[in-house]
Chain A
């Protein structure tokens, strides 16, 4: 447009001041939109993280009167934590718990979604039943589990009736089983999450490539692995990553049901940090531990975000291309 005519100098100046004031107004508007977020970072997150840093380099327990009198101890606390075998085991347990329950949720969720993504009689009914566990408060899951899992409880009893032999498993008190029980509860609680995401993903796959493959005589098996799974990659990644991160943070069920026991069988990272801080009152050690876990999680989250962004970009590109093709075909 600019090259079309040379307008009178007066008008240009007026237009440009208008544009400048408009740009300024837009900038002010953008800033005011951002204000709540800036306030959160300045007033809550920054002070909290600084406090955490302070405690992780100062030796303080609740028995000391004021926390600003605590002695500076440098990186001693971090050394303590990193040489603490209990912390090492907590890391191992957390990773095992998160990996196991993530895979469990994913496999079952995907299987159910695959069985359900095409309309069939009773679909809505099954969908509602399947999402119920996710709509149960985690603490409620823990206490309901306790009502069911004791040695002579209904679960063992029901299994005994069905299988015909005397099934007596101590789900809650056997230290070799407790973490598995916790993971199974997590799977029961959160399979609906993977199920919902995978169902939405399967339903969103364009039909054309599948129909084309069917016409070419490909088996269901091959269509699944060579057409559907590649198209589902972003959704699969999402289901795995989000579930893993949430499982790393799982606290309510494990705490309400086990408090880290029997022995230390269910002492995952959140549990161990909680016990250190609120039962042994070693606030500083808890803070150092928290910092290490936070850094570890930040690394994991950044990698996860990188993966998710890459998938999202390729997905956006695919949809844009499709829209353009549709437009070209329509116009």
Chain B
């Protein structure tokens, strides 16, 4: 039976929505599960049949994990009720500082590349190797080198490696913004007698302010969620949130899903907020000048 054009159009529209909704459920369900698990009382974490909505919802998990309520003080869970607020502080300091450094030096380098060609295009791509070679291949000598320098288990140590591994993204992303600044602006500044550094810091960088913010948040996503380097470089003093979360696994016998979920939600929310703020810029961060206009 032949379909009319409107019928066919309606059918494609329905099929499109069907696929999108299906994928939306697939993408959203694990996140939903994590969130509701964090509100479940402990007899529903692991029950059969699974509980799809917590009844009654409880805040115990959050209170226990984040503010150390004492109900588990004498049980096996006690080891794991460590110091999430301290980890939160560590994560914040480490992620923000390393990201700030990456964006600062990244934009300086990017300016040099864009205006003075201090790195050829080939070098720019080679710079990406800092990011593309799996970090696992250097972590062992890195940790020995760090222990010789006294940087093991310190914030400075972690900040330094995060700075290193995110620098390529910072350079590429800020360069894409600097390339869009018309050169006439800098020429004007030069004629007015501004030094080269002043031109960079007081003319060019302020002009790409929103781009710098986008780059900052983009890199913050990477440093906030990093796991392997943190696992190896931090031991006891300065564990970050992802490491704190994984301790719940190693140190307990039972399954403490509700607690894990409460911690996981706390780690994830800042990331999602940041990601949604810069959602329009995500493509730029990943595309290395391959996508235009």
Contact = CB atoms under 8 A, between A and B. Distances in A.
B133 A301 contact: yes
B133 to A, nearest CB: 5
Contact of A251 (B30, B37, B112, B227): B227
A51 interface: yes
B268 interface: yes
B109 A33 contact: yes
Nearest to B284: A200
A79 interface: no
Interface residues of A, number: 97
Interface in B151-184: 160, 164, 167
Contact of A301 (B108, B112, B132): B132
A315 B290 contact: yes
B227 A139 contact: yes
Nearest to A319: B292
A33 B109 CA distance: 6
B93 interface: no
A277 B138 CA distance: 11
B23 A154 contact: no
Chain B's interface size range is 35 or more
Interface string B83-116: 0000000000000000000000100110110001
Contact of A128 (B45, B261, B279): B279
Interface of B: 16-17, 19-20, 23-24, 26-28, 30-31, 33-34, 37, 45-46, 48-50, 52, 105, 108-109, 111-112, 116, 118-119, 121-122, 125-126, 128-129, 132-142, 144-145, 160, 164, 167, 196-197, 221, 224-225, 227-228, 232, 241-242, 245-246, 248-249, 257, 260-261, 264, 267-268, 271-272, 274-276, 279, 282-284, 286-293
Q: Nearest 9 A-B pairs (CB), nearest first? A: A249-B134, A200-B283, A33-B112, A51-B141, A252-B227, A135-B275, A137-B225, A290-B137, A154-B50
12 contacts: A37-B105, A52-B140, A108-B23, A133-B27, A138-B227, A144-B264, A153-B50, A196-B283, A197-B286, A251-B134, A278-B232, A305-B125
Interface of A: 25-26, 29-30, 33-34, 36-37, 40, 44-45, 47-49, 51-52, 55, 67, 108, 111-112, 115-116, 120, 122, 126-141, 143-148, 150, 152-154, 157, 188, 191-193, 196-197, 199-201, 204, 234-235, 238, 242, 245, 248-249, 251-252, 255-256, 269-270, 273-274, 277-278, 283, 286-287, 290-291, 293-294, 297-298, 301, 304-305, 308-309, 311-312, 315, 319
